[in-house]
Structure 1
Amino acid sequence: MEHVMLTKLREAGCDMDGTLERFMNNEMLCMKFLRKFPEDTTFGEMQKAFAQGDAEEFFKAAHTMKGVSGNLGLSCLYDEMQPAVEKGRRGELPSREDMDEIKKQYDQIIKIITENE
């Protein structure tokens, strides 16, 4: 029986089927890595760089966050991260609205993970 967290992440638009496949259908291993996601400091680093107007540091953190979210199948966050990473690659920062949407997706994922351990 699938863990509630995976079901809720799937309902939020995350690709848990692809994630489970990457983890050789080992649900326990997949869950182990998903539970570590809220401990990752990259999102905070990205927000700090954005607040400071540091496009270079923003790009580094955003690129990392995009990669982590992609590897974990957190598609709803990954999809929001893509345009921000592209702007960062050009030395630009995303808009406040873009950051608000990224944070909304991030917060939704963190809530699902922390409330469904």
Structure 2
Amino acid sequence: MDSKTFDKLISLGFDEKDTMPRFVDDKEFYLSCLSSFIEETDLSFLKQAFEHSDTENAFQHLHALKGVVGNLGLGRMYEDVCVSLEKLRKGNVAGWKKDFAKIEADFQKIKALS
């Protein structure tokens, strides 16, 4: 990843102004953290929890994902994760496939940057 990655990230909802202070305004450090996120994130556990109506595990996976994407400033993905998380908080699992598809699409767009 290079500095052009930041231009692409902005098109995916990245807020550089609010996010970069968390990374001491060090773009290399940020890109290293983003690369780790891309390499280590496996959404299959979230999908499996939804498929088995395991709302507790789905909630835990979503909550952890929310924290990471929030800290990385990945705005669009963060918003989609929050929508799904709020539905689960209310016990609503209807439409999980659509919600998961959005989250997965967000992740694939971010992953394509690497």
What TM-score does the superposition give when structure 2 sets the normalisation length?
A: 0.87
Q: CA deviation at 1:63?
A: 0.6
**Partners of 2:41 and 2:90 in 1: how far apart?**
24
Q: CA deviation at 1:16?
A: 2.5
Deviations 1:40-76 (A, max 9, x none): 2452221111122211100000011111100000111
**Partners of 1:54 and 1:33 in 2: how far apart?**
30
Contact 1:58–1:93 under 8 Å retained in 2? no
% identity of equivalent residues: 29
- Number of matched residues? 112
- Aligned partner of 1:88 in structure 2 is 88
Contact 2:77–2:106 under 8 Å retained in 1? yes
Residues 1:32 and 2:43 are matched in the alignment: no
Shifted more, 88-97 versus 14-23: the winner is 88-97
Relative to structure 1, is the Cα distance of residues 94 and 28 closer, same or farther in structure 2, using a 3 angstrom cutoff? farther
What TM-score does the superposition give when structure 1 sets the normalisation length?
A: 0.85
Listed as ranges, the gaps of 5+ residues in structure 1 are none
- Aligned partner of 2:100 in structure 1 is 99
Residues 1:3 and 2:3 are matched in the alignment: yes
RMSD of aligned alpha carbons: 1.7
**Partners of 1:80 and 1:39 in 2: how far apart?**
20
Secondary structure of residue in 2 paired with 1:102: helix
**Partners of 1:42 and 1:63 in 2: how far apart?**
14
Listed as ranges, the gaps of 5+ residues in structure 2 are none
Residues 1:16 and 2:16 are matched in the alignment: yes
Deviations 1:71-100 (A, max 9, x none): 000111000111111122233325122221
Task: Give, as a single letter, the amino acid of the residue that structure 2 aligns with 1:79.
Answer: E
Provide runs of 4+ in structure 1 moved above 4 Å: none
In the TM superposition, 1:62-77 aligns within 5 A as 62-77=62-77
**Partners of 2:35 and 2:94 in 1: how far apart?**
28
Residues 1:60 and 2:53 are matched in the alignment: no
Q: CA deviation at 1:24?
A: 1.5
Contact 2:62–2:81 under 8 Å retained in 1? yes
